[in-house]
């Protein structure tokens, strides 16, 4: 659960079922009452209609929490954490990073590192589209060691250089009269 729309949908359904929530956060809900089997089933159905999923498997919940931490870290934080990412994730979840990394790879088929890289590259694309920051600023914002490192990783993932990607974006924004 990433967006405020998702949180609102969950809160609405909990209230409809007469359940009082203590917290509704990214991928996590805490309710005051013990849910009945019927309430759980109704909540599951209602969330599915909203495009959300009620997760009850502890491993799946932990994977979702890892993903949410990464999405929040890359897309919604003003600045990438200055500490080691493995330490950041393990401290947020109170689990050993090796356990988290092995579980994530086993369940998703990719490593946490590759998941982070994929999100960082999507964030770079987004920032290039906004055209508010240059590559040096983007590199710093996402904690790349250098512009060269960002460019190399961008090309490896997308097949394009960041400059060429930006050029393509500018080409697509022409008016119909210019075509």
Supply the pLDDT for residue 35: 84
Q: Which long-range contacts (CB under 8 A, 24 or more apart) does 37-45 make?
A: 42/17, 43/13, 43/14, 43/17, 43/19
Q: How much is the pTM?
A: 0.72
pLDDT band at 170 (very low <50, low <70, confident <90, very high): low
Supply the pLDDT for residue 171: 61
**Residue written as token pair 């964030």:** 123
Supply the pLDDT for residue 81: 80
d(CA 165, CA 60): 35
Q: What is the dihedral of CA 92, 93, 95, 101, to 10 degrees?
A: -90
Whether the per-residue pLDDT at 4 is higher than 80: the answer is: no
Mean pLDDT along residues 105-126: 95
d(CA 33, CA 22): 10
d(CA 145, CA 122): 18
CATH 1.10.10.60: does it fit domain 55-179? yes
**pLDDT tens sequence across 121-152:** 999 999 998 888 999 999 999 999 999 999 99
**pLDDT tens sequence across 63-75:** 989 999 999 999 8
Tokens of 93: 């979840």
Supply the pLDDT for residue 74: 92
Supply the pLDDT for residue 109: 95
**pLDDT tens sequence across 38-65:** 888 888 888 888 888 877 778 888 998 9
Sketch the domain layout of the chain as residue ranges.
Answer: 1-54, 55-179
* Percent of the chain predicted with pLDDT > 70: 91
pLDDT band at 176 (very low <50, low <70, confident <90, very high): very low
Whether the per-residue pLDDT at 179 is higher than 70: the answer is: no
């Amino acid at each position: 659960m990433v967006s405020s729309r998702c949180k609102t949908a969950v809160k609405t359904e909990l209230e409809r079922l007469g359940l009082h929530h203590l917290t509704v956060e990214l991928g996590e809900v805490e309710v005051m009452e013990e849910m009945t089997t019927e309430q759980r089933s109704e909540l599951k159905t209602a969330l599915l209609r909203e495009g959300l999923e009620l997760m009850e498997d502890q491993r799946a919940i932990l994977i979702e929490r890892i993903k949410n931490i990464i999405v929040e870290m890359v897309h919604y934080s003003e600045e990438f954490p200055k500490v080691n990412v493995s330490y950041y994730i393990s401290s947020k979840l109170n689990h050993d990073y090796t356990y988290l990394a092995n579980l994530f790879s086993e369940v998703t088929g990719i490593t946490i590192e590759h998941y982070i890289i994929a999100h960082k590259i999507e964030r770079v694309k987004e920032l290039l589209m906004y055209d508010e920051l240059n590559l040096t600023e983007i590199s710093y914002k996402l904690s790349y060691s250098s512009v060269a490192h960002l460019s190399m990783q961008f090309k490896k993932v997308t097949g394009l250089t960041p400059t060429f990607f930006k050029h393509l974006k500018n080409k697509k924004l022409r008016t119909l009269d210019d075509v």
